[in-house]
Chains A and B, each alone.
Chain A
Amino acid sequence: MNIDDYKRLINKTEDYIETNLDKRITLTDVANNANFSEYHFHRIFSKFSNETLKQFITRIKMERSAIYLAINSDISITEIAFQYGYSCSSSYNKVFKKHYGVSPTEFRKEQEWKRNIKQPDV
């Protein structure tokens, strides 16, 4: 397998996570989605990635949930937790805080403030 095959596998896995954000996603799910055995998927993923599969899934979920909570001020943190496959808001809060260093509520406030100041130049 070369780097293009790996990129294609990652793209497929990202697309799968993005359409199944409300589920608890396992190695079996992503391997099935890519038509690979769990063993083969894990071997390829580990060879090219500097994250574990769990870290990868969590990062995609955290980044997508952060976008959603920043642009949707009406939705509660509990609803977001459920929407991202967490069984309660406290487990979601914990993972979020570990990832961003602030709670989802604090993050939402920060983003509202930043949004009114300037566009990032990337």
Chain B
Amino acid sequence: MEKPNITIENFNTRVIYVRFKGSYAAFRKNSRKMFNQLFSFATANNLIIEGETKVLTIYHDNPFITHAENLRTSLAMTIPSDVVINEIEDINVLQISGKYGIGHFEISPPEYESAWQYMYQEWLFKGEEKPRDSFPFELYVTEPPKRWKEKSFTDIYIPIE
């Protein structure tokens, strides 16, 4: 994995999401189904803007601390700030805002863990920035690859003060 470029930015967006409770392995098994549910909802409600809409995975808990069966992970999709959403099924709306350290990565699926490790161990813990009490997430700048060795652009957002 190449060392990422890291920027510090204020990020403010509104998302729709579906939340999963359980281990990360179980989340990965369910994520395609969750994505399809979000995508159908977004399509039916004209929420998708080509070239602008992004998909995110939000990690609300930490596997060091929360039991695997209680880990909460949300699959989210950015939506315009001004539309009225009628929340149905288990789809909710969430506002994400604040300051973030953003690692800009070009990585393949097996490199995600090292990318997260890098952001916490090398960047946050050894750097000057102070963590903010909010959830981190990854944002898929380009579509995540379907093959194990293909790379895509993914940004990792770490909330900071």
Residues of A within 8 A of B90 (CB): 4, 7-8, 11
CA A60 to CA B43, docked complex, whole Å: 33
- Pair B117/A11 contact, Cβ less than 8 Å: no
Interface class of chain B by DSSP: loop
Choose among B23, B121, B133 the residue with the greatest number of A CB atoms under 10 Å from its CB: B133
CA A115 to CA B63, docked complex, whole Å: 11
Residues of A within 8 A of B111 (CB): none
Is B92 part of the contact surface with A, judged by Cβ < 8 Å? yes
Question: Which of A7, A59, A72, A83 is B19 in contact with, Cβ under 8 Å?
Answer: A7
Which of A38-46, A62-70, A87-95 is found at the contact surface with chain B? A62-70
Question: Which of B65, B72, B89 is A4 in contact with, Cβ under 8 Å?
Answer: B89
Interface string of A4-32 (1 = CB under 8 A from B): 10011001101100100100000000000
Interface string of B18-33 (1 = CB under 8 A from A): 0100011100000000
A43, chain B: closest CB distance, angstroms: 19
Interface string of A48-64 (1 = CB under 8 A from B): 00000000000100011
Question: Which of B23, B65, B87 is A66 in contact with, Cβ under 8 Å?
Answer: B65
Name B158's closest neighbour in chain A (CB-CB): A71
Is B47 part of the contact surface with A, judged by Cβ < 8 Å? no
Q: Residues on B close to A: CB < 8 A?
A: 17, 19, 23-25, 60-66, 68, 70-72, 87-92, 94, 113, 117, 120-121, 124-125, 130-131, 133-135
Additional 8 contacts, C-beta under 8 A, given A12-B92, A15-B94: A8-B87, A8-B91, A11-B17, A15-B92, A68-B133, A119-B113, A122-B24, A122-B68
